[in-house]
Amino acid sequence: MRFVFKTSYEQDIRLFRDGVAAMWYGVLAVVMLLLPSLLSSYYVGEITWVFIYGICGVSLMVLVGYTGLLSLGHAAFLGIGAYAHAYFLQHGVPWVASVALATLITTASGIVVGLPALRMTGIYLAIATLAFAVIIQEVFTRWEAVTKGFAGMAVEKPVIFGVHFNDAASFYYLCAAILALTLWMTRNLLRSPTGRAWIAIRDSEIAARSMGVNLAVYKSIAFAYSAALMGLAGALFAHKIAYLAPDIFTILLSIQLLLLVIVGGLGSLHGAVFGAIFVALLPPTIAILRDAIPATLSDVASTTGIGLVGAVGKTIGDFLKKPGVEAGFFGLILVLVILLEPLGMYGRWMKIKLFFSTFPMYKRHTFTRQKSYMKSERLR
């Protein structure tokens, strides 16, 4: 059992809690750097999706997890970033400038959405973001001069200062670097007055106001920053998906992003990354299991001679092949997480770490909350 002694204020401000934590993150960094040389390009591509979703997760975590403003239409910002970036690239704007412009445009739209949000609370804000997303999706379809509508827009791989990022590994490193940068910047904000102001807005607007926090300004900053990150993610998303179409950025994608932050663990940056791992890797996992389960079970059946096992395998395989099963799985996991582990994957990870660090004195009811009653959130 390790106890961290605090001897200076610096320790509370530092990025990493102590040397040991820093070392583990270092190990993680080394592993991530080595992965492209160890895995096939298919897997490298899938992990790149994790990075892109990770940036989206951080964006939504800032808005929903830290400031407490629910957005049901965040995929719209992703789309704005993606289309803007693709448009500028097609008109010959250099990559860095194009990404910067796309981010700026998305930030501006974030502020536009945020302004009326200042007067709205909770569920009204959520529905306003939903309405915004629906309208934006229609704009993507109709504004053919810019987005080419249903015909779609092809996006090539990035060329930055003459360097081509054509293969899976180089794009992987690009996305990893941007994710790391995003995490660092967001962590900086969160350990500064701005981050504290966001948490204050989430927990008690009245008290925040009495402490001098200008609610309008900080809510707008939250929207702007969140949108900016989505714009950045959108640019990378455009490259990864290689072909933009309006029916990518649907409400269902927004809900998938919300699922990301909840399953990952609301209120922590780790949660954003954990959630991204989950959301990015679940569809390919189902795709693999779809064929692997019937195959393995039929092997077992033929070696053991129990035909039932093979039949079970085939039923599971057929079930997984039906359309719409993926959405059902997402739904099921969402329900299970909210029911059984409201703190999400990161919460469970913390509990597991606590178990091992306090072994054998871990108490099973450490995290049991007293029975809580629903208080009206209308009067928050």
Partner 1 sequence: MQLTLNGLAVGCIYGLVALGFVLIYKATELVNFAQGDLLMLGAFVAYMAIALWGLDYWVGFLIAIVVIAVFGAVLDMTILRRVIGQPQFAVVMLTIGLGAMFRTFASVTWGSEIYTLPTPFSGVTNIAGVTLSHQYLSIIAGTLILCGVLFIFFNYTRIGIAMQATSQNQLAAYYVGIPVKLVFSLVWAISAAVATAAGILLAPVTLIDINMGLAVALKAFAAAVLGGFGSIPGALVGGITIGLIELYAGATLPEGFKDTAPYIVLLVMLAVRPQGLFGTHGGKKV
Partner 2 sequence: MTFFRADNLTINFGGIRAVDDVSFAVNKGEVFTIIGPNGAGKTTIFNLVSRIYDPTAGRLVFEDRDITDVPPHRIAALGIARTFQNIELFEHATLLENLLLARHVHKKSTFFGELLFLPAVRQMELEHREAVERVIDFLNLQEYRDALIVNLPYGVRKVTELGRALCTGPKLLLLDEPSSGLNVEETDDMAFWIEDIKNLLGITVLMVEHDMNLVSAVSDRVLALNYGRPIATGTPHQIKSHPEVVRAYLGG
Residues with Cβ < 8 Å from 186, sequence gap 6 or more? 58, 62, 229, 269
CA R_g for the chain: 23
Q: Does 345 bind partner 2 (CB under 8 A)?
A: no
Q: Does 380 bind partner 1 (CB under 8 A)?
A: yes
Count of residues interacting with partner 2 (CB under 8 A): 30
- How far, in Å, CA of 250 to CA of 73, rounded? 8
Q: Which amino acid is at 93?
A: V
Q: Does 374 bind partner 2 (CB under 8 A)?
A: no
- How far, in Å, CA of 49 to CA of 340, rounded? 27
Q: Does 197 bind partner 2 (CB under 8 A)?
A: yes
C-beta of 287 vs 338, nearer to partner 1: 338
- Window 136 to 195, contacts with partner 2 (CB under 8 A): 185, 188-189, 191-194
Residue with tokens 């039906």: 322
Q: Does 342 bind partner 1 (CB under 8 A)?
A: yes
Residue with tokens 């954003």: 272
Kindly tell me which residue out of 35, 134, 146, 199 binds partner 2, with binding defined by CB under 8 A: 199
* β-sheet bridge partners, residue 164: 159
24's tokens: 């583990």
Q: Does 376 bind partner 1 (CB under 8 A)?
A: yes
274's tokens: 């954990």
Q: Does 30 bind partner 2 (CB under 8 A)?
A: no
Give the nearest distance from C-beta 252 to partner 2 in angstroms.
30
Kindly tell me which residue out of 196, 314, 348, 351 binds partner 2, with binding defined by CB under 8 A: 196
- How far, in Å, CA of 54 to CA of 113, rounded? 23
Asked whether the CA dihedral 214, 218, 219, 220 is positive or negative, the reply is positive
Q: Classify burial at 94, counting beta carbons within 10 Å of its beta carbon; exposed 0-12, middle 13-18, buried 19 or more.
A: middle
Count of residues interacting with partner 1 (CB under 8 A): 55
C-beta of 92 vs 212, nearer to partner 2: 212
C-beta of 13 vs 379, nearer to partner 1: 379
Site string for partner 2, 251-290 (x = CB under 8 A): ----------------x-----------------------
221 binds, among partner 1, partner 2, none (CB under 5 to 8 A by kind): partner 2
Kindly tell me which residue out of 10, 38, 91, 324 binds partner 2, with binding defined by CB under 8 A: 10
